[in-house]
Amino acid sequence: MQLAIISWIRSQYKLVLLFLSFLVILFGVIRLVTKPIEFTSGQTITWWHIIENVQSGKGYKYCENRYVPNCILTNQETAIREPFPIYFYASIGRLTGNSVVALQLTQVSIVLLVLFGIYLLGYEIGGLFVGLLGAWLWTFYLPALRLESYITGDLPESLFVIFGLLKFVHVVKHNKLIDWLQFGVLFALAALSRTAALSLLFGLGIGYIIFLFKTNQSSRLLSIDLIQKISISVFAFALLMSPWVVRNYIAFGEPVFSTTLVGYNLYRHNAIIAKDVPPHYVDSEEAYRIIFELVMRRDELLTPINEAQVNRIFQEEAFKIIREHPLKYVKLVVYRFSHLWLNISVKELLLMDYVYMVQNIFLLIAFILGLRKNNWVVRIIGCSTIFYLFLYLLVDAQLRYIIPVMPGMIMIGSVGLLSILPAKIQQEFI
């Protein structure tokens, strides 16, 4: 019976993918009906205000004194959000009259494209059944479904990351120029959606170098062929990133490669270690008090300095506190794992939050099982993902931050889940 089912799936895999695609669309429509996008909701509001300013011709501007205390005194040029989602959703909104239906169906389309990305990546690494299992796990991954109701950079980043990882596998396997070029383009778009993608790119680069050394291919690092291909990839990446960096240089008088919200988050979520309180998530109400106390101490925050300068003050104050309380900081970083993976204490937990917890614990176990496989590509992607998540632990952690790298983790988890099946059945999956 088992062999018959496996044989049927192998012969009808396109039908399986079609069915999973139908489910993604069905779940997306249900989400649209039950929880449509609200432009003034917590996760969406900052993105949408910038989108509205871009659409109305006011420019890339935003003022919210929670994040930038002195913004009312400035020209309100901002870089608190990455540009690709802003212009992408602004374009969709302009074409559709800011239709909630159109915007949310765009989100559903991204989730659907990610499904195919997971399938293709899984197929490249472990074959048909790894790809199909990964696609199945993504179809029922509820945190991604939940994110469809919010305009953020997380879903676009997840799309570019999964196809960027696919191109990375092609680079390792085939070393073709077109793959190197597409790899650079996709990760530039990922970084322009969420800057955190840069850490994943860094991890992949280091992992690739280690891979060449460990497989006795280190001489290739000095070959003209590889140097040319890497140079073209870097050039494509830099070409796409440069308008954002140049724009920020013009706006703030200094290059800003990421966003100007880094310092705010670093200070907001770590200032508590200077107080005699247990580790916890700093909600918006507590954050307001923390930032207000800082504004009272740093007079510059009440002068018309620009966002980049405000960001630098936040960073200086945060690093000062961390240096003064290193052990408490380490304890807080470890504690944040519960925020990142389970969303504990980030918000009041409802029934569905417990379902998310169960899903994430299961997928984490599967991911760890996948890392045990003797597969260089799996381990490079896995370790790069761990590095990506670790950087979030250093600053701020919420469950939604794992969604951009969850497709890659699901693929690795699929490898892990199939690896624990009896050897006889595993042979049928090859």
Q: Give bridge partners of residue 77 from the DSSP assignment.
A: 61
Element (H, E) at 135: helix 128-139
Residue 404 to residue 234: CA distance in whole angstroms: 22
User: What is the per-residue pLDDT for 430?
Assistant: 58
Tell me what the mean pLDDT of segment 362-383 comes to.
Answer: 95
SS3 125: helix
Percent of the chain's residues with pLDDT above 90: 85
405 neighbors 229 (Cβ within 8 angstroms)? no
Tokens (6 digits) for 418: 């199939």
User: What is the per-residue pLDDT for 345?
Assistant: 67
Tokens (6 digits) for 356: 């998310």
Element (H, E) at 233: helix 224-252
Which among 383, 271, 301, 385 is positioned nearest to 71, based on CA atoms?
A: 301
User: What is the per-residue pLDDT for 428?
Assistant: 63
**Cα distances (angstroms) measured from residue 22 to each of 25, 57, 108:** 5, 39, 11
SS3 195: coil
Q: What is the CA radius of gyration of the chain?
A: 22
Residue 157 to residue 111: CA distance in whole angstroms: 11
CA count, 13 A, side-chain hemisphere, 377: 20
382 neighbors 371 (Cβ within 8 angstroms)? yes
Percent of the chain's residues with pLDDT above 70: 97
User: Residue 429: pLDDT above 90?
Assistant: no
User: What is the per-residue pLDDT for 3?
Assistant: 72
Backbone angles phi, psi at 216, to 5 degrees: 60, 40
Tell me what the mean pLDDT of segment 373-391 comes to.
Answer: 95
Judged by average pLDDT, the poorest of 218-232, 279-293, 303-317, 414-428 is: 414-428
Which among 273, 391, 279 is positioned nearest to 322, based on CA atoms?
A: 273
The number of distinct structural domains making up the chain is 1
User: Residue 188: pLDDT above 90?
Assistant: yes
DSSP 78-95: --SS-HHHHHHHHHHHHH
Neighbours of 18 (CB within 10 A): 11
Judged by average pLDDT, the poorest of 13-17, 38-42, 283-287 is: 38-42
Q: Give bridge partners of residue 61 from the DSSP assignment.
A: 77
SS3 345: coil
Tell me what the mean pLDDT of segment 91-101 comes to.
Answer: 97
Q: What domain range includes position 98?
A: 2-429
Widest CA span of the chain, in angstroms?
74
User: Residue 242: pLDDT above 90?
Assistant: yes
User: Residue 195: pLDDT above 90?
Assistant: yes
Q: How confident is the model at residue 348 (pLDDT cuts 50, 70, 90)?
A: low
The H helix count followed by the E strand count for the chain is 20, 0
Residue 109 to residue 117: CA distance in whole angstroms: 12
Residue 410 to residue 395: CA distance in whole angstroms: 24
Residue with the two structure tokens 């989100």: 107
Judged by average pLDDT, the poorest of 154-163, 186-195, 272-281, 335-344 is: 335-344
Query: Quick one: CA dihedral 172, 175, 177, 179, positive or negative?
Result: negative
User: What is the per-residue pLDDT for 383?
Assistant: 97
